[in-house]
Structure 1
């Protein structure tokens, strides 16, 4: 009887040690995942919203859009500081791009997507020209209002 009790006690200790070891390894895995799960991007809203006229000669057409940039910030990249530093140049580039659009391009979802992609590429080009790195992961339209 005593041998059985000792055997059960030893098994209990072995199971206790194994479970503590697995919990410890699980915590290391979680902390490694937590370090890797740091946000790789930050959202930066370009305020105030853009209001431009577009379409060339004839009746004036207006576009009002709010734009947010997804800025790469992971890996020690100082993306937000670079975007803030060049914000006037970025806004100028976007105003010029938006004002060059045509009515046909603004009237369809495909046209708006092309405008978004052009704007993203233009912002990336500004940062590559000024800093040598693009820093921008994506460009998002928060609102997009067209008056014809």
Structure 2
């Protein structure tokens, strides 16, 4: 009668090992699924490669303006300067050339409102270039788009 008692534990062992096998397989499937999901979510896609692709640098277009000669505030001194504007779009250059009288008027008004004392240091000249850039980039027509000048360069700058 001892034989039937021994057979019962032998049958119980395969049930535990099957249960353990299913748990292990389930864990492997969950871990594999989580790993695959993380890999797909963290993998840089084609959009990321397209964004990091650098565009070739744009070719600058330099547009020199006619010489400006203005009386500075105070009346005893004058400023003579040559200014060159930098653009990246030929259409912008054409627009500025078309409306050059209006732009020159803005710049003459701006330059003549300066004093010799406010144009002595490099920082003073940098402030003036920013003011000129703002004046050039104002829309030339009411409710129009602003111009897209990117830099102002002084090619001569004389105060007498």
Q: TM-score range by the shorter chain?
A: 0.5 to 0.7
From 111, 114, 131, the equivalent of 1:118 is 131
Question: Residue 69 of structure 1 aligns with which residue?
Answer: 85
From 59, 65, 70, the equivalent of 1:46 is 65
Contact 1:46/1:68 (<8 A) preserved:
yes
Contact 2:139/2:145 (<8 A) preserved:
no
CA–CA distance in structure 2, aligned partners of residues 95 and 134 of structure 1? 18
C-alpha spacing 1:91/1:45, structure 2 compared with 1 (3 Å): same
C-alpha spacing 1:128/1:40, structure 2 compared with 1 (3 Å): farther
Question: Residue 93 of structure 2 aligns with which residue?
Answer: 80
C-alpha spacing 1:84/1:71, structure 2 compared with 1 (3 Å): same
Match of 1:101, SS?
coil
Deviations 1:9-55 (A, max 9, x none): xxxxxxxxxxxxxxxxxxxxxxxx8xx537443100002x1000112
**What RMSD in Å do the two structures reach over aligned CA positions?**
2.3
Q: How many pairs were matched up?
A: 108
Contact 1:89/1:126 (<8 A) preserved:
no
Greater relative contact order structure (CA < 8 Å, 6+ sep) = 1
Which protein is richer in strand relative to its size? Answer: 1
Question: Residue 9 of structure 1 aligns with which residue?
Answer: none
CA–CA distance in structure 2, aligned partners of residues 44 and 63 of structure 1? 20
TM-score by length of 1: 0.64
CA-CA distance at 1:130 after TM superposition: 6.5
* Structure showing greater Rg: 2
CA-CA distance at 1:93 after TM superposition: 0.5
TM-score by length of 2: 0.60
- Structure 1 residue runs without a partner (length 5+): 1-32
- Structure 2 residue runs without a partner (length 5+): 1-53
